[in-house]
Structure 1
Amino acid sequence: MASNSKKKQKRLKDIQHLINILDTFQEFHFISAGIQLGIFDFLEKKKIKAETIANTFGFEKELTKAWCEAATACGYLEKDRDEFYLSRWSKHYLLSHSSTYIGYLCKYTKIIPEVFSDIEARFRGKRPLMETQHAMNTVESIAPIANLAVPILMQEIPILRENCHILDLGCGLGSYLINFALNNPELTGVGVDGGWIAAIVHEARKNVEKYKLQDRIEIKLADVLELKLNEKFDVILMSGFIQAFKPKNALIILKKARDWLKTNGILILQEMFLDEGRISPKSNVLLNLLLHLETPEAGLFEFNQLEELLIIAKFSEIRRMNLIPQITHIIAY
């Protein structure tokens, strides 16, 4: 009887694991739906019945009610009798005008199916060329991380609050430079990206113009491996950038960074690492798989691997900081 009971418990645990996988998949997609449909923004300052939401947008009433109930079950909405309103978390992270908005992460609902749609070809080494829209979806999905990271970095690293000149390698849409500049009027910067999708650099320049920062931020289109610069920087930032290269090319970039720093300048690396053994943390291991599916050149490092490259590149002091869950910051001098 005891043996049967243990088997039953194992089966129940296995079933619960499957349910958790399905829940996570569905939750991500229905959050994306709420953002795309404008429901979170609509609920910003008021309690509203599901029927009112449906009438306002021209949605089906029962479907809208089911969505509101699901959002409440997952903690994104609260319910008072028959009215729904935003949870604290949603107010911070799902309102489109919030400085900590992460809704762009829901672009992953487009990215992941695109990658896995031709999975056998990718496993056989026949990856399709990255299309412009797929590249834009990718950078747009990670750009909001800057809204969360910049205030923390400025608080922890004093030079970012001073009169400084920053180089952002792999700047994407320019989110980090723009956030730094908006929070520090004495900061100037150069962002470099390109070599794969020029449209990303075009969008970054438009973002700089949007915030009227053209006199303080310059965006360059260039392959970093071929890049030559005649100026020095107080800070060089690489956020999720070094993971796009194999160790040989990563070392070339780190050596270039060392040469481009002023005497007392610092390198800031913001990366996700694999633990020794390469099977944890889970989210980082999954990201590593996604990177490999995109291109054979990309993949996450273990911390010790990157630390060794930094030492070879002549960085004498290397400090590790864990400021954001699953993301590691390395400050190197």
Structure 2
Amino acid sequence: MARTPLDELRKRAQGALSLDIAFIGVVNGLFSALHELGRARVDDLAAKTGMDAGYLQRWCDAAYAFGWLERDGEVFVLSDDGAAMRPEAEDSGMALAIGAVLSAHMAERAAGLMRSGERPGEKVLAERETILPWFGAMLEHNFRRSFEEKVLPAVPVFAEMNERQGLVVDLGCGNGWYLRALLGRCHSLRGLGLDGFDENIRQAERLAQKEALADRLHFAQGDIHRFELPEPADLIAMNRALHHVWEERGRLFERLHGELRPGGALVIWEPAWPEDTGILREPAYRTMAFQNLSEHIQGNHFLHPEEIAEALTNAGFAATVHPVGTDAVVVGRRS
């Protein structure tokens, strides 16, 4: 019997449910605990994690149903897919689970806010207590490899600043993944990450220590709106952050220009909203289209690389655009 469009929709819906179950396992450490235990009954998993046994029984049944676990009677063990969901696993799939539940949250908020036109801002990201602590890890899993393999080779300013043993400042650094990736490749650079959330600073410091970068990499409280630098910077980075403060770009760029040493650079990495929105049906752009809806809730919208370059030029920078897939890195040099 031929499959119908409704059959395909049911298949997609089951995929979403599968990631919902995986999300529960990720944020509560269940995949990692089962990996350490090897084989475990529900009571063993409850003792290991401190979670309620009743909830764990239902989760294990659901995780088995969707293939995250295998079972032998009442004993559960990770499947290969379940092992890949561990946050510490190489090429972990945890970001897919976090992103799926975050997207569902944003879709629910958009559905209600569409009726009033209200745009409550970035606080919507903190409305679900189980999502926010994982936001930085999700971004790292989504973008660190792309940064190391595509952005770094395409943008020569990083190697130049490494030659001058410069200071790199990341505004809104999250868990510090960008600076850890950069200093891991550019061994003469020093880094300072600024963020407004204490939890992000704690995560960043712990991970820098783990990657043996704590002697060159430091983190402090501060954000794009309020920060003080201990010395002029050679490079200031804004990663997927400019669209959050676009309405304040004139005043912001003027200040950042003054915080740079002569010859320093402001490096902006942003999704490149296409001029021709007919391209949004292509798989690489579909996620961007949904994210732009989420950004509208937060009072933002994605930008064209050319308008970023124009704003930098107007602020006294010499601007160049480096396309990287569906993103763009726009470099503004202080003369």
Paired with 2:37 and 2:89, the residues of 1 have a C-alpha distance of 17
Distance 1:256 1:90, change over 3 A: farther
Counterpart mapping for 1:108-119 below 5 A: 108=99, 109=101, 112-113=104-105, 116-117=108-109, 119=111
Q: What corresponds to 1:5 in structure 2?
A: none
Q: Secondary structure of the residue that 1:95 maps to in structure 2?
A: coil
Q: What corresponds to 2:50 in structure 1?
A: none
1:124 to 116, 134, 139: 116
Cα distance, 1:167 vs. partner? 1.2
Distance 1:259 1:135, change over 3 A: farther
Matched, 1:233 2:200: no
Q: What corresponds to 1:206 in structure 2?
A: 202
Matched, 1:285 2:281: no
Instruction: Say which is worse superposed, 299-308 or 26-35, in terms of deviation.
Output: 299-308
Cα distance, 1:231 vs. partner? 3.6
Paired with 1:85 and 1:316, the residues of 2 have a C-alpha distance of 50
1:134 corresponds to which letter in structure 2?
E
Counting aligned pairs with the same residue, the percent is: 15
Q: Secondary structure of the residue that 1:177 maps to in structure 2?
A: helix
Q: Secondary structure of the residue that 2:295 maps to in structure 1?
A: helix
Question: Is the CA contact 2:309–2:319 (under 8 Å) kept in the aligned structure 1?
Answer: no
Matched, 1:261 2:260: yes
1:192 to 178, 181, 194: 194
Cα distance, 1:243 vs. partner? 1.8
Paired with 2:82 and 2:263, the residues of 1 have a C-alpha distance of 41
Matched, 1:317 2:299: no
Structure 2: 5+ residue stretches without partners = 46-52
Matched, 1:166 2:168: yes
Q: How many residues of Structure 1 are paired with residues of Structure 2 in the alignment?
A: 301
Cα distance, 1:287 vs. partner? 0.6
Q: What corresponds to 2:139 in structure 1?
A: 145
Q: What corresponds to 1:103 in structure 2?
A: 94
1:219 corresponds to which letter in structure 2?
A
Cα distance, 1:128 vs. partner? 5.0
Question: Is the CA contact 1:239–1:271 (under 8 Å) kept in the aligned structure 2?
Answer: yes
Cα distance, 1:44 vs. partner? 3.5
Q: What corresponds to 1:217 in structure 2?
A: 218
Paired with 1:244 and 1:62, the residues of 2 have a C-alpha distance of 40
Counterpart mapping for 1:300-315 below 5 A: 300-313=302-315, 314-315=317-318
Distance 1:166 1:85, change over 3 A: same
Distance 1:318 1:78, change over 3 A: farther
TM-score, structure 1 length as denominator?
A: 0.69
Paired with 2:58 and 2:127, the residues of 1 have a C-alpha distance of 34
Distance 1:289 1:171, change over 3 A: same
TM-score, structure 2 length as denominator?
A: 0.68
| CA root-mean-square deviation | 4.2
Paired with 2:216 and 2:327, the residues of 1 have a C-alpha distance of 32
Paired with 2:230 and 2:29, the residues of 1 have a C-alpha distance of 47
Question: Is the CA contact 2:22–2:63 (under 8 Å) kept in the aligned structure 1?
Answer: no
1:187 corresponds to which letter in structure 2?
L
